[in-house]
Amino acid sequence: MKFSGNNLETERCPHCGISAPNLVLVGNPFIGATAGGGVPKEYWRVFQCARCRAGVMVRSNPANSGLQAWPAATTYSEDIPAKARNALREARLALGTPSLSIVGSARAIDHMLKARDYKEGSLYVRINKAAEDHVITEDMKAWAHEVRLEANDERHADEDAPDATEEEAARILRFAEALAELLFELPARVKRGRQLAPGAKA
Ligand SMILES: [Zn+2]
């Protein structure tokens, strides 16, 4: 990631996932913090993606030429099983092609349930079983079914179903990410926290 004239050069837009995005400076850079004598210590800039119109905020430090961006390009936690993690990544990168992204999110959900030993039957059956076992809440179940149905629309190229929008794809991806957090990231974080706690017992 680096500045190039009025552009920010980065691999992908963190919002829409397009590669080599056209991220254009909006307004002027402003000074965020000063060192002694009012010398700028850091600058802030806002860039806008020409494709999805969303913004990226960048903090730069002239002293060390380091850049930090928000939102950062998404990388998924290593706590998520590899197959599900890859499917999430693909779903995110495909957000510009909603139907493809939705199929990716559904595949991620499928892999996550399998990793938690919900292997028998259709996705529908396994989602119900996970809710019965209180692995997911009833609300999560309702949301999951919505995701499943929309993914089916894409797979079966249903003539009557309206084309999926980028917004729908993003909503479904958010569900898949929430599920990953609930099933894998939070439990792993709690486990690590307990191991670090003084007087923790194995
Ligand atoms: Zn974008």
Convert the pLDDT of each residue in 86-117 to its tens digit: 999 999 888 888 889 988 998 999 999 999 99
Domain presence at residue 76: no
In this model, does residue 132 exceed pLDDT 90?
yes
The mean pLDDT value of the chain amounts to: 86
Flag whether the pTM goes above 0.95.
Answer: no
**Same-domain check for residues 108 and 184:** yes
Number of separate domains in the chain: 2
Give the Å distance between the CA of 10 and the centre of ligand 1: 11
CA of 50 to the centre of ligand 1 (A): 7
H helix or E strand, kind and range, residue 61: strand 55-61
Task: State in Å: Cα 100 to ligand 1 middle.
Answer: 17
For residue 98, the CA-to-ligand 1 centroid distance in Å is 14
23 Cα to the center of ligand 1, angstroms = 8
Determine the structural domain holding residue 22 and report its residue range. 2-70
Residue 155 pLDDT greater than 90, yes or no: no
- Indicate whether 88 and 153 sit together in one domain: yes
Question: Per the domain annotation, does 201 fall within a domain?
Answer: no
Is residue 77 in a domain?
A: no
- Nearest partner of 6 among 57, 62, 46, judged by Cα: 46
Q: How many helices (H) and strands (E) are present in the chain, helices listed first?
A: 6, 6
Residue 189 lies in a domain: yes
**Could you tell me the CA-to-CA distances from 140 to 90, 97, 114, 135, 179 in Å, in that order?**
22, 25, 17, 10, 8
Q: Are residues 141 and 189 in the same domain?
A: yes
Residues 12 and 58 in one domain: yes
Residue 184 included in any domain: yes
**pLDDT given for residue 158 in this prediction:** 56
Q: Are residues 46 and 108 both part of a single domain? A: no
CB 176 within 8 A of CB 105: yes
pLDDT digits (tens, 9 = 90+) for 175-199: 999 999 999 999 988 988 888 777 6
Alpha helices for 62-137 (secondary structure H): 82-93, 98-115, 123-132
Query: Residue 201 pLDDT > 90, yes or no?
Result: no
Q: How far is the CA of 192 from the centre of ligand 1 (A)?
A: 35
3 C-alpha to ligand 1 centroid (Å): 17
Phi/psi at 137 (5° precision): -80, 170
119 CA to centre of ligand 1 in angstroms: 36
Q: Looking at the predicted structure, is the pLDDT value of residue 81 above 90?
A: yes
* Ligand 1 centroid, distance to 172 Cα (angstroms): 18
Domain boundary (16, 50, 70) is at 70
Residue 157 clears pLDDT 90, i.e. is over it: no
**pLDDT tens digits, 17-75:** 777 899 999 999 999 988 888 888 999 999 999 998 999 999 998 877 789 999 887 77
pLDDT at 149: 61
Residue ending a domain, choose from 35, 70, 105? 70
Specify whether the CB–CB gap between 107 and 46 falls below 8 A: no
Residue 50 lies in a domain: yes
Decide which of 12, 46, 70 is a domain's last residue.
70
Residues 90 and 127 reside in one and the same domain: yes
Whether 93 and 63 map to the same domain: the answer is no
Residues 90 and 114 in one domain: yes
